Amino acid sequence: MAAKICGVKIKSCVITPYGGEIEFDNPAVVQATSLLWIALGGPIATVLGIGLAFFMPELLAPKLIEVQLVLLAINIFPIIPLDGGRILIACLFLFYPTVRAFEYYYSFCLTIVTILFLWTISYLPQSIFLAVLCLFIWLQVIKEWSYRKYRLAFEKYVMNRLT
């Protein structure tokens, strides 16, 4: 809904183990403020879900609130592709829009997710859900990391055309 409100066309929406992930029709033209509002859409929807739970039957409400709080806690973690990471990326676009900043950020994400994955592996079998979740997130970070060189080439191309 946030993308629709911001006027951003969506190519696809995929449900993943860590939530929903959208792909834009033309990501190069999406403004940073739109990216920020779209990224805030996930946590806002979760908070609304928590609010709606108070109007549900007493047997259902506490579990729904518990699940929504866990989702919110995981989703606001500042790692790409989670909403917290998307919020941080949007802020980078707004305040420090260079490819070098994204490289540092993706390196940070890769390091943190690798540590978290190894940490969850050490607590198997109790941490199987978190280990699988970390694995999915780690794969997404690897994908983003591999695209950084294209972002750099695009930035150099655009800067050369403008100067």
Number of CB atoms found within 10 A of residue 74's CB? 17
Identify the pLDDT of residue 112: 92
The answer to whether the CB of 13 falls within 8 A of the CB of 22 is: yes
Closest CA to 80 of 46, 106, 98: 106
What residue segments make up the domains of the chain, in order of their start?
A: 1-96, 98-163
Q: For each of the chain's 163 residues, which pLDDT tens digit applies?
A: 888 888 888 888 888 777 777 888 877 678 888 889 988 988 998 899 899 888 888 888 898 898 889 888 888 999 888 889 989 988 888 888 777 777 888 889 999 999 999 999 999 899 898 888 888 889 888 888 777 677 667 666 665 565 5
Identify the pLDDT of residue 35: 86
Helix, strand, coil percentages for the chain (3-state, nearest 5): 70, 10, 20
The answer to whether the CB of 118 falls within 8 A of the CB of 135 is: no
Identify the pLDDT of residue 118: 92
The answer to whether the CB of 131 falls within 8 A of the CB of 117 is: yes
Q: Measure CA of the first residue to CA of the last residue in the chain; give whole Å.
A: 38
Overall pTM surpassing 0.75 (yes/no): yes
Closest CA to 95 of 28, 31, 163, 32: 32
Burial class (CB in 10 A: 0-12, 13-18, 19+), 79: buried
Identify the pLDDT of residue 146: 79
Identify the pLDDT of residue 101: 79
